[in-house]
């Protein structure tokens, strides 16, 4: 079971400044009542696909000051999630970022990650 699985009525989760390097898949899956999530000032490089999908009540999420790896394909999930949830991502002061887009919350995502090329099949040597 996940560390937060029994906390189904939790509304605030403050995990900022904890040197977190990763978020376990489905860590927040049962936190459907969560309104406030702070993950800022950690060492997060990506967010697993689906990590925030069940956070339907979320109104505030703080993600700033993490070394996001925008060359990693997992960053696409976070980028899309931010785009689909305008007004949820907050800045250091708790305000909605007026320029809030996936590109303002993260550094630019390289085109090779946005549209990865399929691997080429090895040629049969004759």
Domain range list for the chain? 1-111
Instruction: Residue 55: name the closest of 100, 85, 18 by CA.
Output: 85
- Give the strand pairing for 60-62 and 36-38: parallel
pLDDT, position 36: 98
Q: Which band of pLDDT confidence, cut at 50, 70 and 90, is reported for residue 73?
A: confident
pLDDT, position 19: 97
Q: Which CATH superfamily is domain 1-111 in?
A: Ribonuclease Inhibitor (3.80.10.10)
Residue 94 has pLDDT above 70, yes or no: yes
Q: Which is more confidently placed, 126 or 59?
A: 59
Q: Which is more confidently placed, 91 or 51?
A: 51
d(CA 119, CA 1): 36
DSSP secondary structure, 93-118, as one string = TSPBPTT-SHHHHSPPPPHHHHSPPP
Residue 9 has pLDDT above 80, yes or no: yes
* Tokens, residue 70: 């925008």
Residue range 82-96: mean pLDDT, rounded? 87
DSSP one-letter code for 119: P
d(CA 75, CA 78): 5
């Amino acid at each position: 079971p996940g560390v937060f699985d029994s906390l189904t009525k939790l509304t605030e989760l403050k995990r900022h400044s904890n040197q977190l390097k990763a978020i376990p898949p489905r860590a927040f899956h049962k936190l459907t009542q969560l309104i406030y999530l702070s993950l800022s000032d950690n060492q997060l490089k990506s967010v697993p696909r689906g990590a925030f999908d069940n956070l339907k009540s979320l109104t505030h999420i703080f993600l700033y000051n993490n070394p996001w790896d925008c060359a990693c394909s997992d960053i696409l999930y976070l980028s899309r999630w931010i785009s689909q949830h305008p007004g949820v991502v907050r800045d250091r002061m708790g305000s909605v970022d007026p320029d809030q887009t996936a590109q303002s919350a993260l550094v630019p995502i390289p085109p090779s990650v946005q549209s990865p090329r399929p691997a080429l099949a090895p040629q049969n040597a004759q």
